[in-house]
Amino acid sequence: MTGSNKGSAGLTALVGQPLGSPTLDGVTTVGVLALQGDVREHLAALSDCGVRAVPVRRPIELAAVDALVLPGGESTTMSRLLETFELLEPVRARIADGMPTYGSCAGMILLAREVMGGRADQRQLGGLDVVVRRNAFGRQVDSFETDLSLVGLAGGPVHAVFIRAPWVESVGPDVEVLATVPRQPGAGAAEGRIVAVRQGMVLATAFHPELTGDGRVHRLFCDLVRGGDRALNTATG
């Protein structure tokens, strides 16, 4: 499920590869931040896309990947662990240098420019010029499910599961809105809220595609990783 397990010598050889380039054996490698959250589910979904999927817990492991997934979990815990494992600044630098990055739920929160309802000591990774509201859908017992039309996603609506999820309050001029909550009974205050966005090589959803068995969002991200910005532009054009 997690792909090949390289030794430290192999990882050392990959340090210094140009950011965003395929790893030395030509296989695209996508990491999943493995500090907390839905790590195994993302690794499985990425492996089904035909990429090498590996957990990332250390800076040397981050240096060995072409792209990174920030999983669902608890954003304040993940923020603290990023500092503890000395990954906060390296991840920030990779994202700023154009590394393709996908965040689901808590991952979306970490990528946002600003968080409403977050803790004062919460640290942001940046990458998305958006303002998000943490726990916008309420407590875990208030989890919400719906079918969404997502720009660039073939095959019809995607079933979206929101668990203590954020939504996007506002977006900057370079952010593309990919999905909003449709009008339907039970949507309440979530109706019309932005729940999927993209800015350049950074993709984020407020929902958890790794939990539904529908691999299309992960395939969309892997197409972005393999084909660069043009891949998603083609899909959405």
Q: What is the dihedral of CA 36, 37, 40, 45, to 10 degrees?
A: -130
Cβ density class 18-47: b for 16+ within 10 Å, e for less: eebeebeeeebbbbbbbbbbbbebbbbbbb
- Give SS3 for 162: strand
Which positions are annotated as active-site residues? 105, 208, 210
CA distance 94 to 105: 20
The two three-digit tokens of residue 29, written as one number: 């490698």
